[in-house]
Every structure is written in structure tokens, then in C-alpha cells.
Structure 1
Amino acid sequence: MSTKNSGNTGATVFSAQPKTAFWRTGVAEPGVYGYENLYKSGFQLPANARFSTYGSCFAQHISRALQGRGQPWVDAEPAPSNFPEHLEARFNYSIFSSRTANIYTARALEYWVSLATTPELADTVELWEEDGRWRDSLRPMIEPDGFDDAEECRAMLRGTARAFRRSIIDTDVFVFTLGLTEGFENAQSGQPYAMCPGTLAGSFDGDLHQFHNYSYPQIMASMKAAIEGMRALNPALKLILTVSPVPLTATASQDHVLVATTYSKSVLRAVAGDLAQEDAGIDYFPSYEIIASPPTRGQFFLPNMRSVAPYGVQLVMEHFFAGLDLSGARLTHAADKAAQDRQAVLKAEERALELACEEQVLEAMNAH
């Protein structure tokens, strides 16, 4: 089969592209502080669009930035009115839109959605007891000293499951930051754990606690199941997915931690990107690229090469808000007044090192 020379068609395709489509004019010349149009939301949102935020440690920066900007942020499980303000973060209040603590994996998000849609599932969650103090295995550090008894522990979990459900129903945009491909599950029930049992709490049983380095198909299936469950509660729900740029603290994969980190971020980035490509109700926001791509030369990481420096967080959030289209007419939300009352003028860059990250405890296991 012969083909005819169609002239300069190929060149025309590229000459019609904007300057951001070329490495020289999109990256090399503007530099990392001069990127344009890294993110352009596909949503037209009302000016007072409400956001719920969840995910890995880096997601906490988005929570703070939304609050600091005065954008309505869903706090479905606020601290009691008489709770000391200086202890709120320690007890995981106002960090995410409910007290789930960090949700590191897609499998864990899927499980939390199941808790929100099937309340009786909370009665099957594994509880751990040590020295008379009780913890639930989904968020073992939600109460620094644990709960007084199993009944209180489970009742608080049920309350958070209800709050998580409300944060889905009462929001316009659900922001989720994917953090890890690695996780542990109960071999009998399939319940995921926040961390490997025996690190923060509980005890490790090699036959019961199984390590999983979730693959692309598994993560995609978990994300689709979670999204389907959330949209059953809120059909108009929009999602913004992003990938944490923070490297793994440690890996159980037997690979070098650098290789394991590259695998994890690559797979999560592919899943998030593909979901956004195939679903008009999902955006992908490139926080990972802004912080961890080669042109940054690691300048946004602190000396430990993991924690993101305050000015890196600030740059990420500048791109986030620049790309949102919040030009639509304001909506009337019954909970707006309560949400606004809780808005504190918080600068994410000033509190960048104060993240609640269970994963950091793994460094204590480093014997070298």
C-alpha cells in the first residue's frame, strides 16, 4: 500500500501547538518558577464551591491552603466546642474533612467508602488492645493514648464513617492525593491497614497480615469502586486527583527504596491520569510534577530529600488556585456559615513541617 506525500502536514500539527507544548519554551526558558498553564481545570465551579480533602500526608497542605484562602472547606467532624485549640491537630481534627487520618492507598479509600455506604462494616474492623488502651487498625494514632475500651473505640470509628459520608454528600469537589502503592491487608477479611501492624500499634502476624504492592489494575479497580460508591451518595460530585511528591520512607518490596518510590509514583500517576482522561468529572492536578520532576533538581526538598520545603508547597498551591475556574454563580449551601466560622487564615508554607504522617515512624525501624 503506497502513501502520498501530503506536504508539511506533520510540521503543521506541531506548529499549531502552544509554546507550553515544547520543552524549550515550556520548561527550559521559563524555569520552574515561570511555568504557565500547568493546570487548567475542566470544571466551571461556583465561586463558593465546597471542597473535601483526603489522602496521604501531602494532602494536608491542600486542606490548609483552602482554609487559608477562605474557600469553603468541608469539616464534617470538627473538634468539640470545648476542645483546646492547640490540641486539635494532635487529635486529628481539621486535618482532613473527617478524622480518617491519612489514607495512603486506593484500597484504603475504597474501604472508607464502603464504611460510608455500609455502616455495619464498622463492626468488623479489627481493634487492637495494649496495656488496657484500644485502637482501631484503620487509624491507630487518631487518639494519641488510645481509647478507654473497645466500645468507645468502635463508636468513634462509626462516628467518623458517618462524617466521611457527610463530607462526600456535602461537597462539590472531592480532592484525593494518592500516596502509596504498598500496603498491608488482613488475609482473612481483606481489610486494609493504615500501616503495617506492629509498627504504630498491634502486633505482626506473618500468616494474617499480608503485604501488597498494588499493581496498576488493582489500583484502578479500587479507585473506580470508590468513585462509584461516592457518586451513589452524590451524583454531581467532581474529583481532583493528585499524586504526592513525597518519596517512600521505607519499602517492604525488597527493592531499593529509590526503585520502589519510582514504581509507586509512576503507577499512581498513570492511574490518576487515565481516570482524568476517561471521565469528564475528574481532574488531574500535577503536584508531583511541580515538586519532583527533573528540572527542579531537588530544590523543593529539605535536606532529608523527602519533606517538601515551604516555598515548594507555596508554589504548588499557586498553580492549584490559578488553574481552578471559580467564576460560576454562587450556590447557597446550608452549611456555608458554619464552614466560614471555622476558616482560619493559615499559610501552608508556615506549617509545612507540622504534618501528621504515620509513615514517618518507619524511619525508627532503620537499624543502619
Structure 2
Amino acid sequence: MTINPYHGLGDFHFWRKAMTDPAPGQIDTVRRSALIEPHHKVATLGSCFAQQIARHIMASGLQHYDLEPAPPGMPAELAGAHGYGIFSARYGNVYTVRQALQLFDRAFGTFRPQEAVWAHDGRYVDAFRPAIQPGGWAHPDDVLAGADQHLACVRQLFCSFDWLVFTLGMTEAWRSRLDGAVYPLAPGVSGGSFDATRHEFVNFSAGQVSADLNELVTKIASVNPQGRILLTVSPVPIIATYEKRHVWVASTVTKARLRVAADEAEHAHPQVMYFPSYEVITSPAAGSRYYADDLRQVTEAGIKHVMRLFSRHFMQAGPPAATASNIEQDLKRAQLHSDVVCEEELIAASLENAQPDGKA
């Protein structure tokens, strides 16, 4: 019999055995994992989808590392509106790798942006987390003082986590022409005012994202050599593009660049691992089950599939049994997790609130 290199490979190597034959909710895309112990401090950072993993960590008894908790007695709903308990620090959504890299540099005092405070409705907001304080602050000095306090927490976070779950979300961003500072939202969406002489659009290439991620991982290792990083790519399409092309094409390019960067980082750094939640949600086996009617938000069924895999491969107890009946029940419910905090959605909201002539 003729022998070729594919003989003897496991089922996961082959499309029919790995994708066609299993029930959609039982497809397992994870091939590399490590155990997260109950005492490990698990930090979260990134785009909106990272919040789903943070919630699962908290609900599963693992230690979600929170360095900037809500003040004692603050109601949960109010705390969430002020950015507490959503991620491991009160930084809001960190959409691009460049933004995360600059967050590290700001926390360690090697980068001080020139435009860090934006005016907004007679008050002031933090340009790097503009939605974190409903109503803003009364004075620019209050914004800067709050930022210093916040960055001290971020510095401690980078130095002391055991695991960092970092969800990569976007490559499009707006940055300062003055010093290259990258913002989570365009000036004018939720504070500030766009000025073409001071601000510019950028769409980071795959090479730039890879270089930024490599630099970030290296810098984190310099202050926390034992820390491990679990990368994911958000399966949520971008809500808008500034590129002159269809938003779905722009979103596909964005996710491809992020996925390449994550793959290169995993191969370059032994402490980095990739968790394929993006592949689970966008799988052709899922059909339309894992996206809501808006074709963007991930349904409960999709989230539960991802979290079953996370539990199976990274947690000691493993997931609850994924029987055919409870998978089908999840698919029928398929309801949207609408309380996820996603600052990107302010882009659409700002347009809906505009006058017919386009002016706010």
C-alpha cells in the first residue's frame, strides 16, 4: 500500500471528521491548552467579546483579577455604567493592539500623550476611555488625576497577573498627529472634536499589528516573566468602517490581520496561546445560529459553545455535559446578550442622534 504523510493523523486534521460529522454544537477546535488553576489571577483586556470570557471566569469559580473594583456599596448597574467589573481595570474597550501597547507605556510612564482630555457637553472626559464616566468630570485636572490613579492599577495588573486573556478586535483607529496616540473612538463621537490638522485615520496592516503584539508581549515579559497570555480574536464584525469599501469586506480584512498577528505571536512566544473562539462562531457548521438578527451580535448558543470549550480545555472541573438536548435548547433560545458594554456602538448612536443635515 502506498503511504503518504497524511496517514495516521488524528481526526481533527480532516474536514469531514472534524467539521462535517460532529453535531454543530460539539465541534471542538482547541488543540493546545493549559490548566488555569483556581488560585491563578486571570486578567481580561480587549474588545467587547472579552467580557463574555470574563463573565464565564467569574461564574466558574476562577479568580477574575480586578485591580480597580467599584466603591463599596455601589449598585451593580451603576458600577457597570462606570466601567467597574467589566474588565480587570477600568480601561473600557481596548480595540487595537497599538492602543494596548500604548496603555502599557502610559502605565509605566514612558509615553505621555499630549491630548489626553476632551471637552464634552460642558464637562470633560478621558480621551482614552471616553465612556467610562457618565456625565464626565468637572475639570480637566480631575480627568488627569483619575487617569493617574487608573494607570497605577494597570501597572500593577501587568506586573502580577498569572493569565491575561486579550481579545483582539479592530485594526481601524483614529490617532493624534501630534504624537501618534491612538484613541478607542474617533474624536467627536463621545467627546472632543475632530480636527484634520490634529487627528488622522489609520488602518494598521497585518505587519504593524504583528510588530505591536510582539512588542507588547516582550514588554509584559520584562515585568512579569511568569505571566501567560491567552489570545482570542473577536468574532463580532466591526460596526462601521472609514475605508471606502463595504463594511463586510473591511471587517473581513480586519479579522484576517488580527488572526495572522495572533498566530505569529503564538509561534514566537512560548507564554502565548491562542484560543479559537473566532473560529467557533464563524464556522460554516454554525449556519445562522451563532449570530443574532442583526448579523453581528453573538447569540447565547454561540457563547455557550465557546465557553464549553474554554471549560473543557482550561479548567480542572471541565464543562457541564453537552448533551444533544441541551445543545438544541441553547440553539432555540439563541437570545442576545444585550448588556455587553461596547463603546464602538457609540459610533452608530452618534449618527442616529444627528440632525437630517448631518449636524449633531
Q: TM-score, normalised by structure 2?
A: 0.89
* 1:243 and 2:228 correspond: no
| 8 Å Cα contact 2:160/2:227 also seen in 1 | no
3-state SS, counterpart of residue 100 of structure 2? helix
1:35 corresponds to which letter in structure 2? Answer: I
Question: What is residue 343 of structure 2 aligned with on the other side?
Answer: 358
1:212 corresponds to which letter in structure 2? Answer: V
* 1:87 and 2:72 correspond: no
Alignment deviations for residues 55-113 of structure 1 (CA, whole Å, 9 cap, x no partner)? 00011101111001110110000011132333111000000000000000001000101
* 1:19 and 2:4 correspond: no
Written as runs of structure 1 = structure 2, the 5 A alignment for 1:195-210 is 195-210=185-200
User: Which stretch shifts more, 46-55 or 85-94?
Assistant: 46-55
CA drift of 1:131 comes to 3.9
| 8 Å Cα contact 2:34/2:313 also seen in 1 | no
CA drift of 1:326 comes to 4.6
Question: What is residue 115 of structure 1 aligned with on the other side?
Answer: 106
Written as runs of structure 1 = structure 2, the 5 A alignment for 1:30-109 is 30-36=22-28, 38-109=29-100
The verdict on how the C-alpha distance between 1:44 and 1:361 changes in structure 2, with shifts beyond 3 A counting, is: closer
CA drift of 1:350 comes to 8.4
Instruction: Provide the rounded CA distance (Å) in 1 between the counterparts of 2:15 and 2:343.
Output: 38
1:302 corresponds to which letter in structure 2? Answer: A
Question: What is residue 162 of structure 1 aligned with on the other side?
Answer: 152
User: Which stretch shifts more, 93-102 or 198-207?
Assistant: 198-207
User: Which stretch shifts more, 95-104 or 142-151?
Assistant: 142-151
Q: Which has the higher contact order (CA 8 A, sep 6+)?
A: 1
3-state SS, counterpart of residue 229 of structure 2? strand
2:2 corresponds to which letter in structure 1? Answer: N
Alignment deviations for residues 211-238 of structure 1 (CA, whole Å, 9 cap, x no partner)? 1110011111111121122112211111
The verdict on how the C-alpha distance between 1:257 and 1:293 changes in structure 2, with shifts beyond 3 A counting, is: same
3-state SS, counterpart of residue 202 of structure 2? strand
Instruction: Provide the rounded CA distance (Å) in 2 between the counterparts of 1:199 and 1:295.
Output: 37
Instruction: Provide the rounded CA distance (Å) in 1 between the counterparts of 2:297 and 2:335.
Output: 14
Structure 1 stretches of at least 4 aligned residues deviating more than 4 Å after TM superposition: none
Instruction: Provide the rounded CA distance (Å) in 2 between the counterparts of 1:220 and 1:210.
Output: 21
Instruction: Provide the rounded CA distance (Å) in 1 between the counterparts of 2:156 and 2:32.
Output: 25
| 8 Å Cα contact 1:122/1:158 also seen in 2 | no
* 1:254 and 2:257 correspond: no
Instruction: Provide the rounded CA distance (Å) in 2 between the counterparts of 1:207 and 1:51.
Output: 41
Written as runs of structure 1 = structure 2, the 5 A alignment for 1:122-161 is 122=112, 124-161=114-151
Instruction: Provide the rounded CA distance (Å) in 1 between the counterparts of 2:167 and 2:68.
Output: 20
Gaps of 5+ in 2: 318-333
Question: What is residue 2 of structure 2 aligned with on the other side?
Answer: 8
| 8 Å Cα contact 1:242/1:287 also seen in 2 | yes
| 8 Å Cα contact 1:135/1:153 also seen in 2 | yes
CA drift of 1:124 comes to 3.8
Pairing partner for 1:226 from 216, 221, 226: 216
* 1:283 and 2:273 correspond: yes
Instruction: Provide the rounded CA distance (Å) in 1 between the counterparts of 2:95 and 2:193.
Output: 20
Alignment deviations for residues 227-275 of structure 1 (CA, whole Å, 9 cap, x no partner)? 1221122111110000000011110011100100110011101110121
3-state SS, counterpart of residue 80 of structure 2? coil
CA drift of 1:46 comes to 3.4
2:82 corresponds to which letter in structure 1? Answer: F
Instruction: Provide the rounded CA distance (Å) in 1 between the counterparts of 2:133 and 2:37.
Output: 36
CA drift of 1:288 comes to 0.6
1:18 corresponds to which letter in structure 2? Answer: G
The verdict on how the C-alpha distance between 1:362 and 1:355 changes in structure 2, with shifts beyond 3 A counting, is: same
| 8 Å Cα contact 1:108/1:194 also seen in 2 | yes
Percent identical residues: 31
| 8 Å Cα contact 2:300/2:337 also seen in 1 | yes
| 8 Å Cα contact 2:37/2:62 also seen in 1 | no
1:60 corresponds to which letter in structure 2? Answer: Q
CA RMSD of aligned residues (A): 2.0
The verdict on how the C-alpha distance between 1:317 and 1:56 changes in structure 2, with shifts beyond 3 A counting, is: same
Instruction: Provide the rounded CA distance (Å) in 1 between the counterparts of 2:179 and 2:289.
Output: 43
Q: TM-score, normalised by structure 1?
A: 0.87
| 8 Å Cα contact 1:74/1:170 also seen in 2 | no
User: Which stretch shifts more, 27-36 or 299-308?
Assistant: 27-36
Q: How many residue pairs align between the two structures? A: 337
2:348 corresponds to which letter in structure 1? Answer: E
